[in-house]
Structure 1
Amino acid sequence: MNSIKEIWSTLKCLPFAVLVHDSKTRNYKANESALNLFNLKQHSDLNENHFSHIKLISPLSKKTLLLQNLFDVYLIPNVQNKVVLEVDQTAFLLNIKFANITETVSMITFEIEKQTIDEQYNFDVVISNISADLIDIQNDDVDKHINYALKAIGTVCHADRSYLFKFNDENTEMSNTHEWVNKGIMPFKDSLQNVPKSELPYFFKLMNDTYLFKVNDVADLPASAGGEKKEFELQKIKSVMCIGLSYEKELVGFIGCDCVAVKREWTNLDLIRIKLVGEILTNAFKNINYKQKLELTQQQLITANQKLSELVNTDGLTNIANRRCFDQTIDDEIQRCVRYQQPISLLICDIDFFKKYNDSYGHQKGDEALKQVAETLQNLCKRPGDLAARYGGEEFALILPCTNTDNAYCFSTLIQKEIAKLGIEHKYSEVSDMLTLSIGFYSLIPNTKTIAEDIIAKADAALYNAKETGRNKISESPPR
């Protein structure tokens, strides 16, 4: 059996591009024509890495192919196929044939169809790119992709301008939102803002009735299109074609092209292409609108959940955490302190002789006193994890993670000083002329057997001791 070298000595002399592949060694050989086609330097044995600068694309599926795919899955032996080659920013439509030479050696011949890839393929590539780009379009990307689409449709339709117009919410005015102009052509985007639709009645009647305005020669417009003719002459437009864009069965704008340099007999292919780009843009706008509505709904839901959480976990009178929030938080903080072997302290405070305060000053004054005490306790809880909660009636509880016995005692002393600064008169108290607090606290380093009920019970017992031994006192459990 002939070796690949012997076979190659014959194939390399062929007058067209030839690429030979040995599946055993995974090496390639390219004759001079193939080297030029793929922009490769002379090399005795080529591999996949030598072809990393090229791109092969199926003209039908638009899928990118590896060079190896041509030899093992893409081509049918002895049947002419096509593939697009992109190299050095130039695209070629190639006619290719595949043939098996031996069990391990195969070859492909390449011939360029005409000089470059044709216009139809160019537009197909453009449409493919536009569709892919606009499927998951983001608000900050939309202008870039619309401008690309307008340039593509203007170029392929041999137009001098292409543009996108949108109507206002009242459907009374139109504005040019995006515009592409050919080299040397004057743009009009800035001057075409908030144009009343009433100035172009002929145009909008056709647009509303047929979603199409196609004029090969502006000079042929009827007398009833006087406003339109005047506007087109101002912009030196000779031919124009526009396609309406609809959203939820309502005309919301249009996409169009016009010619300035020479008149154009618009073809059915032009119409199809503009309509196709218009439909792609319409779907993109629908996606953007849907995403905006979805994001708004999600944000509203988040806000509603936050408000609901605040309502569920906040005391209605004092606006600090309620008993429900306290119960959840103390369980979470115990677990966290167990995990990191950190101390935790619980303080329970009671306003001294609060019933007498309420009975003497009235419930409105009593509520105001509760609010001031709650705000003071809340302001003292500055660290993440600290929590001040209304425990019930005139009782308040404070959860202080990473706080040992000494620090808990200091914190309790600080509370009493800050309450004293409030200067809330309480002439009916048996311990002071001002409103005071009794405080009980318990500190520990919890373990996996520690439960919230035990900590609460010990802090509550300490509070009971502070009240029984004279009030306006600080008591710890167990006592020092």
Structure 2
Amino acid sequence: MLQQLPTPLMFKQRGDSSYCLNTAFLSLFGISPDSKKGSEPTDFRFYDPLTKNELTGENCPYQALEKGDVANTWVRLQTPYRSLHCFINGSIVIDGDDEWLVFHIDANNRVTANNGNDSASAQRHIEFNQLLTKFSSKLINANAQDLDVIIAQSLAAFGEFCDVDRCYLFEFSDDFALMSNTHEWVAAGVSPYIDELQNMPTKEMPYLMGYIERGLFKVDDVRRIPDSAIAEREEFQKENICSILCSRVMADGKTHGFIGCDITGSPYTWSASDMEYLKRIGDMLGNTLQNIYNRKAIQTMQQELIEANRQLQKLANIDGLTGIANRRLFNTTLEQDLAQSCRKQGSLSLLLIDVDFFKLYNDQYGHVAGDNVLQRVAEKLVQSCLGTDDLVARYGGEEFAVILPSTNIEQAQEIANRIVENVRCLGIEHKASPHNGVLMVSIGVATQSDNCDESCVELIDRADKALYRAKSTGRGRACA
């Protein structure tokens, strides 16, 4: 009676070690009727579909049924021929003195849909579209950081929905020379191979690549791959692949990689819906990758624009010869610092610096040497001013200026004297200089403290008058 029922059943007598399988079960799992006799209990394994742990001992559904417990649950049922995601419903059937432990197998509807059941096929299309919509909404706004997780979730959902044993994404290197398994989902009881499939030369898989370049690679029975591709056939067989289906993933106008799925254990005839579903998942991933590429390109352009503006601002505010602030940045900074100093009722000092007898230096040593002197003096000025808010600027020609926020007249005079000495210690030869034939500078010092009515022009004018006093009293010194 159990053998003749149209629903898939596996059953055995209580205490017996051998399973009996009815015709519907054999058909569901692709088992030849000639192979059912002599099957051992180890030929069939139950796995928890969530943890992927094998259900053995007391956790085995048959053990639960033997003890009289309820044994109705979702499992991954693995046979020597095929493994499927199933809901098993256990019951005990009494036939005279015999007790039969019976499991009704309610499989994922892939096989039913593929066997021409129009109602099941229509329902399956609806469920797949719902699945696709769910992940499309996630992928639309996915960023690069979220992408790995969402791809992994998509592969898992697709693998479980289509009841395949392995689902994966391969991505090509930029030069198309290598391919790597970047994401992989495997069903319970199936060995993963992602770690072994990294940086594989594409030239070693010409049979596969020829089909991928055209869009689809479909093999119902790996054993039928021609001998001309024996290396690829042996690689698939090493991974226990019996049937394989792969679909190209396009992004940024070129082949980015491919998404694929495998059936292990026994060959499987891929249906039109299998191919359609895989292609649509691949297109969805390709569109997501394309969106990310586009966003990255926009971000790169934005960053380049920011950098270009930064460079333009630098060119507008930095002196091209010395690399320090120019007159424009000096004027802006002095105005801001002076206003801030007044608000805080603090002090601000200004140094105006002139290279002594610079025209004579240029006449004797040449303009190239003169430019070099200005660069060395500018560098020494920066080294001599230690405040983080100090600004050293080229004021014009051989003149420099230093803004010293929060600096009183005594401190400013000390800094100015240090600058004079530091420039002297450079030891730059200047035979026309009266200071032992060494290049020197003169400095005028002015400080704004309590007089907040003083403008930038007035402060500069006082520093300029102080500079004039330094020059008129012998140069090579700082005066306030």
- TM-score over 0.5 for the alignment? yes
For 1:380, the equivalent position in structure 2 comes to 384
> Are residue 162 (structure 1) and residue 167 (structure 2) matched?
yes
Q: Distance in 2 between matches of 1:431 and 1:208?
A: 81
| Cα separation, partners in 2 of 1:452 and 1:222, compared to 1, 3 Å | same
One-letter amino acid matched to 1:407? Q
Q: Which of 437, 441, 446 does residue 441 from structure 2 map onto?
A: 437
Percent identity between matched residues is: 42
CA deviations over 1:161-206 (Å, ceiling 9, x no partner)? 0011122333344322221112221222233334344444443333
Code of the aligned partner of 1:433: G
Encode CA deviations 1:334-379: one digit per residue, 9 max, x unaligned.
2322332321111101122222222233333322322221111011
Q: Which residue of 2 aligns with 1:229?
A: 233
Gaps of at least 5 residues in structure 1 are: 1-113
**Would you say 1:132 and 2:137 are equivalent positions?**
yes
Q: Which residue of 1 aligns with 2:462?
A: 458
Letter in 1 for 2:378: A
Residue aligned with 1:472, SS: coil
- The CA deviation string for residues 59-102 of structure 1, in whole angstroms up to 9 with x for no partner, is xxxxxxxxxxxxxxxxxxxxxxxxxxxxxxxxxxxxxxxxxxxx
* Mean Cα deviation higher: 461-470 or 295-304: 295-304
Residue 395 of structure 1: CA displacement? 1.1
Q: Deviations over 1:417-448 (max 9, x none)?
A: 21222222333223543222211121113777
Give the aligned partner of residue 314 of structure 1.
318
Q: Is the 8 A contact 2:252 2:293 kept in 1?
A: no
- On the 8 A contact 1:439/1:473 being kept in 2, the answer is yes
Q: Structure 1 residue 219: deviation in Å? A: 3.9
- Output the CA distance in 2 between the equivalents of 1:277 and 1:458: 76
Conserved? CA contact 1:466–1:472, under 8 Å: yes
Distance 1:446 1:246 in 2: 71
Q: 2:405 aligns with which of 380, 401, 404?
A: 401
Q: Return closer, same or farther for 1:174/1:368 CA change in 2, 3 Å cut-off.
A: closer
| Structure 2: runs of 5+ lacking an equivalent | 1-105, 107-122
Q: TM (normalized to structure 1)?
A: 0.68
Does the alignment pair 1:336 with 2:344? no
Question: Does the Cα contact within 8 Å between 2:252 and 2:290 map onto a contact in 1?
Answer: no
Asked if the contact 2:429–2:439 (Cα under 8 Å) also holds between the matched residues in 1, the reply is yes
CA distance in 2, matches of 1:446, 1:130: 68
Is the partner of 2:303 in helix, strand or coil?
A: helix
Contact 1:344/1:446 (8 A) holds in 2: no
Amino acid at match of 1:378: V
Gap change, CA 1:332 and 1:129, over 3 Å in 2 = farther
Q: Return the offset for 1:460.
A: 1.0
1:253 shift after superposition: 1.5
Size of the alignment, in residue pairs?
360
AA aligned to 2:389 is G
Q: Quickly say closer, same or farther: Cα 1:198–1:355, change in 2 above 3 A.
A: closer
In structure 1, what residue type is equivalent to 2:188? K
| Residue 284 in structure 1 maps to residue 288 in structure 2 | yes
Q: Which amino acid aligns with 1:239?
A: S
Residues 1:326 and 2:330 aligned together: yes
Closer/same/farther in 2, CA of residues 272 and 437 from structure 1, 3 Å limit: same
Counterpart CA distance in 1 for 2:202 and 2:469 is 84
Whether the 8 Å CA contact 1:160–1:261 is kept in 2: the answer is no
Distance, in Å, in 1 between the alignment partners of 2:250 and 2:398 is: 64
Match 2:394 to one of 378, 390, 402? 390
Amino acid at match of 2:182: T
d(CA) in 1 for partners of 2:204, 2:375: 65
- SS of 1:391 mapped into structure 2: strand
Aligned partners of 2:344 and 2:126: how far apart in 1? Answer: 65
Call closer, same or farther: CA 1:431–1:238 in 2, change over 3 Å.
Answer: closer
Aligned match of 1:356 in 357, 360, 364? 360
What does the per-residue CA deviation read over 1:140-170, in whole Å, with 9 as the maximum and x for residues that have no partner?
A: 3322222121111111110110011122333
SS of alignment partner, residue 320 of structure 1: coil
Indicate whether 1:413 and 2:396 are aligned.
no
3-state SS of the aligned residue for 2:425? helix
- The 10-residue stretch of structure 1 (276-285 or 359-368) with the greater mean CA deviation from structure 2: 359-368
Structural mapping, 1:189-204, within 5 Å: 189-204=194-209
For 1:88, the equivalent position in structure 2 comes to: none
Residue of structure 2 equivalent to 1:296: 300
SS at match of 2:139: helix
Q: Which amino acid aligns with 2:237?
A: E
Cα distance in structure 1, aligned partners of 2:431 and 2:208: 86
**Given the superposition, is the C-alpha separation of residues 189 and 352 from structure 1 closer, same or farther in structure 2, using an over 3 Å criterion?**
same
Show the 5 A alignment for 1:15-26: none
Bigger drift between 215-224 and 315-324 goes to 215-224
Quick one: distance in 2 between partners of 1:138 and 1:382? Answer: 44
Pairing 1:186–2:200 present: no
Which amino acid is the alignment partner of residue 297 of structure 1? Answer: M
AA partner of residue 149 (structure 1):
S
Q: Which secondary structure state, in structure 1, belongs to the residue aligned with residue 212 of structure 2?
A: helix
Q: Distance in 1 between matches of 2:373 and 2:433?
A: 14
Residues 348 and 121 of structure 1: is their aligned pair in 2 closer, same or farther, counting only changes over 3 Å? same
CA drift of 1:276 comes to 2.6
- Displacement of 1:380 after TM fit? 2.0
Q: CA RMSD in A?
A: 2.8
Q: CA deviation at 1:228?
A: 4.3
Amino acid at match of 1:292: K
